[in-house]
Structure 1
Amino acid sequence: MLRAIYRAAWWIVAPLAVLRLLIRSRRERGYREHIGERFGRVVGRLPEDDTALIWVHAVSVGETRAAQPLIEALIDARPDARILITHMTPSGRATGQQLYGDRVLRCYLPYDMPHAVRRFLRAWRPSLGLVMETEVWPTLIDECRRADVPLVLTNARMSERSYRRAAKFGNAARDVFGGFSRVLAQSPSDAERLTALGARNVAVLGNLKFDMSTPPELAARGHAWRAAIGTRPVWVAASTREGEEELVLQAFAALGLDDALLLLVPRHPQRFDEVAALVAKSGLRVERRSNWAPAATTPSVQLELPPLPQDVRVLLGDSMGEMGAFYAAADVAFIGGSLLPLGGQNLIEACAIGTPVLIGPHVFNFTQATRDAVAAGAAVQVKDPAELGRVLRELFDDRARRVAMGGAASAFAARHRGATERTVGVLTALM
């Protein structure tokens, strides 16, 4: 009965979803492109041959970057196969283009409607499907099972909050989670919750995000920015979400350092103008990274930068794919999505670069990684903007503590690597 209600609801939701795409396209044009793919209509499909196709679903920017070590390893392990990456957002698709170019195929994942999913599977004929982290679509799982396509929940995580919500559906949830061929969990607690929800063949392989590395040219770009910024205290607020920038600015005021610089990097590109206006309204001088440090035509080329004026208090990160450079340019990183009940964002990339991390109280999507980073001395969890400002001041005043946290962060990230190799071993066996 629940399955029938769910599928019927999609017939109501689908026209509204298209309308939402068109509305969002006013701020991000990519939402009005390739709409047919969202209903399984594929252009540029594979030729009718026996080439194996490995399909990886990565919703948006974060999942696409997290999948990078795995995709690179699959390309190396199976040079005879093609890789298809599906996304749900234009920014995720653009990130996939930036990372892989023509080495992979790409399209949008269709909406979770039977006819759309069947059309997608008939067009691409994947030998193996991978969905990342929390992507659980009941119809997609059903149709892959019917089409005999092994579907693996990879780098899987399940927060206590999400578990309680899913468990309310009882046997229906167990039927959905039991449809995966394998579930490769990040941690034992994730595996325990997923198993309780009916997942079969669950293994704990670790978190793929620990195998992410910042390209040397990106780190060099951040160091060049820092040289042009000078010796003033610098912190980055990374992947901030709507409503959170006001809190970050409150913390900046509580910091009480007139020469400090905030690198403010909103998570969603369609909000860049909105955030720039918010900062300007607060009375702080803001400069856009795209105006001050235009990108070189070749990634390995570093353009000579003018010094950043001392009265610029906020540098707005209005670019894509440069988070590693912002971490490299900063003394301390605050990870967004955590001052409001949004679940937090990935702190591992900052740790891997050796940047001390601060994070707010709401981290239910990254509970294990946050807990481990705090225990390792790589991160400090704060409860509100006032405490964020206070701890920032303490770190800026205590260089030895910052250096120790940075070293602990690098060691923490290095200690947990290896999930990619373990995951590739399982996936190649499935093929």
Structure 2
Amino acid sequence: MKLLYRLFFFLVPGILFLLKPFSGKLRHFLEGRKFGVSKLRKFRDSQPGSLAWFHVASLGEYEQARPIIASLKGKRPDLGVLVSFFSPSGYDHVSKKPQPHVDFISYIPLDRKRWAEEFVGIVQPELAFFVKYDLWFHHIQALKKRDVPTFLVAASLREDQSFFGVLGSFFRRNLFAMDWIFTQNQKSIELLKRIGYTRSSLAGDTRFDRVAATASAPKELPAVKTWIGDLPTVVVGSAWDEDMELLIPLINSRPEYRWIIAPHDLSPEPMDRWSERIELPTARFSNWNAGETNSVLFIDNIGMLSSLYQFAKIAYVGGAFGKGLHNILEPLGFGCPVIFGEVRKASKFPEAEQSQQEGCGFSVSDEGELFATFEKLEKEDFYDKSVKSAQNWVSSNLGAADRITAKVTQLTSQS
């Protein structure tokens, strides 16, 4: 299996190069990595001190890493932090603005042995963290060759992952190379025990730390606050066409509400289509002012959504009918009950199932279920109970980042 893995990454760069002219995303993926090594060398030449390396797949995993980075820097202000991304979309979003506590942002090279050893050799990390699932064999082996303490954080393991399949013995080497694995749930610990791995502990989901921090100090949006006034408000996060098919009849039936909709796709076309079917006045944030009389406001930018939930009486989070449910923890951090589509693969989104058990998340599969759930949440007793459930669930999960850094400090001080 190792030979096949190496052969795959020997062939992939050439194949990607041949396909590059036919795909803008692929071209972006390759162009972003073009000068990665020289930029990395320049950074380490200018900052040669102790460094922690965090690797994330994309933006969601970075959000899970951020509380750990902040906690680690609180204990070790001298420690530099490098974050590497696999996904261009995550890299682009994060690299466009300064990131607290992060000294350098990079792409991870494709997992060829020579490239991985070169990358790790330049970075020379004192500590290495992989977030959730994006584990690369040759990079991890290069770390172990240098005796770098290496940790998997925010692990949420499932039985259908490669570690537990017929060919799992090769991929399990990535898990057994970890000095410690911090899981989001008890099931992950049980799966690790099943394959004989015992260096693990239940830390919880660091996203709770992140959403609680956002909720405690959201961006001030005075124009939106003025526009809302005392009216009940629904915030729709990451809306897809499939979500809007259900939502538009509900919007049309509730003219007494303010509706804030953040589309997944920020191009004008879907917003134009939705506006034609919505019977209430609509506007886009980019050319809107608080004095307008619209009832529906489309957010046609990136970066506002997490703070918009401060105004929500009820939230709807999209994506479940499409590629995957988006972040339901952000509205819950504000104590806001959240509705979402029926998740196709529940094991990939354990927070969806858990939110339903807690009584603050509500799954709907069609328009009828959406109306029925919304009507329940309009009843004061049911709504208040849901708000309290959200607040209790979030507060009971705080502290995951500090638990992780405390254990890392304990383990590394012993070595």
TM-score by length of 1: 0.82
Change (3 A) 1:203 1:20: farther
1:400–1:414 Cα change, 3 Å = same
CA contact (8 A) 1:219 1:328 kept: no
Cα distance, 1:100 vs structure 2: 1.9
Distance (Å, rounded) in 2 between the aligned partners of 1:202 and 1:417: 19
Q: Which amino acid aligns with 1:327?
A: Y
Residue 350 of structure 1 corresponds to 331
Q: For residues 357 and 20 of structure 1, do their structure 2 counterparts lie closer, same or farther at Cα, with a shift above 3 Å needed?
A: farther
1:130-149 per-position Cα deviation (integer Å, ceiling 9, x unaligned): 11112122232233223332
Q: What is the match of residue 393 of structure 2?
A: 412
Q: Where do 1:268-347 residues align within 5 Å? A: 271-280=266-275, 282=277, 286-292=282-288, 305-310=289-294, 312-313=295-296, 315-340=297-322, 342-347=323-328
Q: Which residue of 1 aligns with 2:404?
A: 423
Q: Which amino acid aligns with 1:359?
A: F
The 1:376/1:139 distance shift into structure 2, 3 A limit, reads same
The corresponding residue for 1:264 is: 261
Shift in CA distance, 23/92, structure 1 to aligned 2, threshold 3 Å: farther
Task: Name the residue aligned to 1:253.
Answer: 249
- C-alpha distance in 2 between matches for 1:349 and 1:144: 34
Name the structure 2 match of 1:139. 138
8 Å CA contact retained: 2:130, 2:152: yes
Deviation at 1:217, TM superposition (A): 5.2
Distance 1:19 1:406 in 2: 53
Q: Aligned pair 1:229/2:211, yes or no?
A: no
**Which residue identity does 1:129 align to in structure 2?**
A
**Secondary structure at 1:263 match in 2:** strand
Three-state SS of the structure 1 residue aligned to 2:43 is coil
Distance 1:103 1:356, change over 3 A: same
TM-superposed CA distance for 1:170, in Å, is 3.3
Cα displacement string for residues 85-142 of structure 1 (whole angstroms, at most 9, x for unaligned residues): 1123344333355362575211111112212211211111111111111212223223
After TM superposition, the structure 1 stretch with the greater mean CA deviation from structure 2, 281-290 or 211-220, is 281-290
Q: Is the 8 A contact 1:174 1:198 kept in 2?
A: no
Distance in 2 between residues matched to 1:52 and 1:402, nearest whole Å: 50
1:20, distance to aligned residue in structure 2 (A): 7.1
1:234-283 alpha-carbon deviations (Å, 9 max, x no partner): 3223234xxx423333233156524144433244x6x5445334424646
CA distance in 2, matches of 1:61, 1:228: 31
For normalisation by structure 2, the TM-score amounts to 0.85
Q: Is the 8 A contact 1:152 1:180 kept in 2?
A: yes
What is the rounded CA distance, in whole Å, between the counterparts of 1:358 and 1:135 in structure 2? 29
- Contact 2:189-2:200 within 8 A present in 1 as well: yes
Q: Secondary structure at the match of 2:260?
A: strand
SS of the residue corresponding to residue 136 of structure 1 reads: coil
> Per the alignment, in what secondary structure is the counterpart of residue 117 of structure 2?
helix
Deviation at 1:173, TM superposition (A): 3.0
Query: How far has the Cα of 1:82 moved from its partner?
Result: 0.5
Shift of 1:427: 1.9
Percent identical: 21
Q: Distance in 1 between matches of 2:183 and 2:20?
A: 32
Q: What SS does structure 1 have at the residue aligned with 2:220? A: helix
d(CA) in 2 for partners of 1:429, 1:40: 35
Moved more, 343-352 or 89-98: 89-98
What SS does the aligned partner of 2:167 have? coil
Q: CA deviation at 1:419?
A: 0.8
The count of corresponding residues between Structure 1 and Structure 2 is 406
Q: Deviations over 1:155-174 (max 9, x none)?
A: 111134437x8423232233
* C-alpha spacing 1:195/1:76, structure 2 compared with 1 (3 Å): same
* Residues 1:318 and 1:119: Cα distance change in structure 2 (over 3 Å): farther
* Counterpart contact for 1:343–1:364, Cα < 8 Å: no
Counterpart contact for 1:24–1:31, Cα < 8 Å: no
Q: Secondary structure at the match of 1:320?
A: coil
